[in-house]
Structure 1
Amino acid sequence: MRLLLTPRILNACKILHRAVHLDWSPNWKLSKKIWDRYRNLPIANCKVQATYVWIDGTGENMRSKTRTMDYTPSSHKDCPNLNFNGSYTYQAEPKNSDVILCPIAIYNDPITQGNNKLVLCETYDTEGRPTPSNHRHHCMETLNHVCDKEPMFGFEQEFMMMDVNSRPFGWPVMSGEPSPLGSYYCSVGADRAFGREVAESHYRCLLYCGVDISGVNPESTASQWEFKTGPTIGIKAADDLWISRYLLQRVAEDYGVAISFHPKLFKNWKGSGCHTNFSTKEMREDGGYKYIEEAVKKLEKRHEDHIKVYDPRGGKYNALRLTGHGVSKVDKFTSGVADSTASVKISKAVMQKQKGHFVDRRPAANADPYQVMNALVCTLCLNPQ
């Protein structure tokens, strides 16, 4: 007897196959107990693993390579430069492929632990010029002109947990999308808070390695989370965010989960941003509210310029997120007190105290924090016309 494979039966077979063989990374099948056996092997005190981490030519993704050191570095200055093949990371041509890693920050490594380190790096070509995706170099030049302003930053980084085929973690396999919005923000429960182990493991890693992490919570889309860094003065704020993004993906890798910083994956669900808290010394002092109001007016005049650098794709993907429905609109600047739909939000507590900070809600989740910081400081502290 032959089974007639009608389109309906074929579709049902595909759905069943998907339900049984979830599209998670094969990493989730690997035993972490076996990994612990090797991670806990005794290593000579003079041997240290230093994992060099950098931003590749996309301006969004990160790369890493590990080398052995015969000493424990106490700062990034103790770490030598390294070179790598930039033709594989969109940072050089094959016939002139060398790119130089220049250490700029060092962190304790929560993955390999012990004396091992994470070394955040800038990238330069062999002529000593910063690569096109090295926006830290220019940000530092800007910040060096405004040290007396003590600019302070905090980032609210939203992200989605996914399978390797871009299906959100925890979303129904057979029925399309989860139940409507409203159940997931700061949620508790196995039916609505998906991937807490990943978020909490990441949180502990950041505390271990010295990042200024201030909190974490589930966001309003199923499988969407947010972690907050800062407030931190100067370039360390952006360094911390980049190493936090690296560690988030590294931790999720162990769980077989992928991480997406895409600003807007699904039309009917809230997108992901990187809301940026900003203040200067005068804003934080008594009577500083007037400086916050002045800053908002300056931001309005440079709205288009900021939108272009608040998304590595020149605002293309961020425009999908900033539609005016529950969020600000990409082509219109707005501000307000306690208004989460505004481009720039001032909390009611700040208004009542008449000092503090504001939140720029326009940067996309995949924004380069160095570019965000540079834009804010140039507009608000260097007084452009």
Structure 2
Amino acid sequence: MAKYRLDYLWLDGYTPTQNIRTKCMLKEFDEFPTLEDLPEWGFDGSSTQQADGGDSDCVLKPVALYPDGTRHNGIIVMCEVMLPDGTAHPTNARASIIDDPDTWFGFEQEYFLYEDGAPLGFPKDGYPAPQGPYYCGVGYKNVGSIARQIVDEHLELCLEAGINHEGINAEVAKGQWEFQVFAKGSKKAADDIWVARFLLLRLCEQFALDVEWHCKPVKGDWNGSGMHCNFSTKHLREVGGKEYFEKLMAAFEKYTEEHIAVYGPYNDQRLTGLHETQSIDMFSWGIADRGASIRVPHSFPKNDWKGYLEDRRPNSEGDPYKIASRVLQTIATVPV
């Protein structure tokens, strides 16, 4: 038998943004364990805003596992938080979301690397040169000395964990980066984003840097951070059609408030109609329009209105469980 390191992850009860928590268990197995082999575990919910001190036990239910390339026999265990009676904790959004393996999701996770309370590369007093050369930039003056090392190492860690990436790049603002995760099914896609966030946070500990997920950390003429949600149902991929697409967009417009409510806190600071966004109180779609609520790629209408669509409104600290579920709820209102 070999001893395995199991790093259990869960989401705490903080609002408006939940944080990732982790604790480590060591357990022996004859071989690399399956999800069914992993035991439930407990934690002190009074320390995570998930229980009172007089009755503080909460339960961790393993729901997904990922090989951890940085540890010998290491496994990252994504968990749902449960109450002692076996029901889902009120902070457990994953337990109740809609899931459909035929709906494919691609999340574009943007973030800032932060050092001493400011974006990496910002001078101690003032601002760097205006944004323009930083997007997909190359060279020390654009990306600094360690950012690319971090994002490249993060990519390798995610791939070793089985988290499918479609790409990484430097973003529009100084110190801002993006990684893109694709998966089939809302639970799988959201699990992958949360674990990818964990891997980035843990990696940045080694560099004495923070990851800033806030959607508008730098005020003024600087881009905010989104988590654009690309989605494609089986019907969109195989049937499509302009009539169905127009009905779908009418449904997304009808439920604009419901989408905004779960697309991440402080989105009013980001969705201003500037910096490649649509205003928070408006809805629009457009072909290759980065200022639209939903961007339609050129390939979509050329392919008989079949393929994928990009909802650009979700922000960088949004909960991918809730985002994916809201998208599916709206799609379900449109008959096929």
TM-score by length of 1: 0.82
Which of 97, 106, 115 is the aligned partner of 1:154?
Answer: 106
Q: Does 1:119 align with 2:69?
A: no
Structure (1 or 2) with the greater strand fraction:
2
What's the CA shift for 1:351? 2.0
C-alpha spacing 1:96/1:166, structure 2 compared with 1 (3 Å): same
1:80 to partner: Cα distance: 0.3
Classify 1:232/1:338 alpha carbon distance in 2 versus 1 (closer, same or farther; 3 Å): same
CA distance in 2, matches of 1:77, 1:296: 41
| Paired residues of 1:162 and 1:260 also in contact (CA < 8 A) | yes
Q: Does 2:231 correspond to 1:278? A: yes
In structure 2, give the amino acid aligned to 1:138.
S
Seen in structure 2, the aligned counterparts of structure 1 residues 78 and 291 have a Cα distance that, compared at 3 Å, is: farther
Secondary structure, counterpart of 1:154 in structure 2? strand
Shift of 1:325: 1.1
Corresponding residue for residue 20 of structure 2: 62
Answer with 283-292 or 78-87: which moved more. Answer: 283-292
Question: Are the aligned partners of 1:238 and 1:370 in contact in 2 as well (CA < 8 Å)?
Answer: yes
Which structure 2 residue ranges, 5 or more long, are not aligned?
none
Q: How does 1:69-108 map to 2 (within 5 A)?
A: 69-71=27-29, 72-108=31-67
Cα gap change, 1:170 to 1:134, in 2 (>3 Å): same
Asked if structure 1 preserves the Cα contact closer than 8 Å seen for 2:247 and 2:334, the reply is no
- Which one-letter code corresponds to 1:264 in the other structure? K
Q: 2:251·2:333 contact (CA, 8 Å) conserved in 1? A: no
Q: Cα gap change, 1:248/1:288 in structure 2, threshold over 3 Å: closer, same or farther?
A: farther
**Which SS does the other structure have where 2:313 is aligned?**
coil
Residues 257/281 of structure 1: CA separation in 2 closer, same or farther (3 Å cut) = same
Q: Where does residue 109 of structure 1 map in the other structure? A: 68
Report 1:162-173 matches (<5 A): 162-163=114-115, 165-173=116-124
What's the CA shift for 1:130? 1.8
- Paired amino acid for 2:216: K
Match of 2:314 in 1: 363
CA distance in 2, matches of 1:291, 1:158: 31
Contact 1:350–1:357 under 8 Å retained in 2 = yes
Post-superposition Cα deviations, 1:344-382, rounded to whole Å, max 9, x if no partner, equal 101112222231010001111010000001111111125
Distance 2:334 2:274 in 1: 32
The equivalent position to 1:237 in structure 2, one of 157, 167, 189, is 189
Aligned to 2:127: 177
Counterparts of 1:193-204 in structure 2, within 5 Å, are 193-194=143-144, 195-204=147-156
Aligned to 2:141: 191
Paired residue for 1:319, among 268, 293, 304? Answer: 268
Gaps spanning 5+ residues in structure 1: where? 1-44
Distance 1:291 1:198 in 2: 43
1:16-55 map, 5 Å? 46-55=2-11
Question: 2-side partners of 1:171 and 1:106: how far apart?
Answer: 37
8 Å CA contact retained: 1:282, 1:291:
no
TM-score normalized by the length of structure 2: 0.93
Separation (CA, whole Å) in 2 of partners of 1:290 and 1:251: 47
Q: Across the two proteins, how many residue pairs are aligned to each other?
A: 327
Decide whether the 8 Å contact of 1:157 with 1:365 is kept in 2.
yes
Letter in 2 for 1:178: P
8 Å CA contact 1:336, 1:342 repeated in 2: yes
Q: CA RMSD in A?
A: 1.6
| C-alpha distance in structure 2 between counterparts of 1:234 and 1:123, whole Å | 18
Structure 2: how far apart are the matches of 1:51 and 1:289?
47
Q: Whose radius of gyration is greater, 1 or 2?
A: 1
C-alpha distance in structure 2 between counterparts of 1:258 and 1:234, whole Å: 28
Secondary structure at the residue paired with 2:248? helix
Kept in 2, the 8 Å contact 1:282–1:288? The answer is no
Q: Does 1:137 align with 2:95?
A: yes
In 2, Cα distance between the equivalents of 1:362 and 1:106? 29
Over 3 Å counting, the alpha-carbon distance change for 1:349 and 1:231 in structure 2 is farther
CA deviation profile, 1:170-226 (whole Å, cap 9, x unmatched):
11124x111001010000011011411111110010111100111100000000000
Distance in structure 2 (CA, Å) of the matches to 1:76 and 1:231: 19
- Range with bigger deviation, 68-77 or 323-332: 68-77
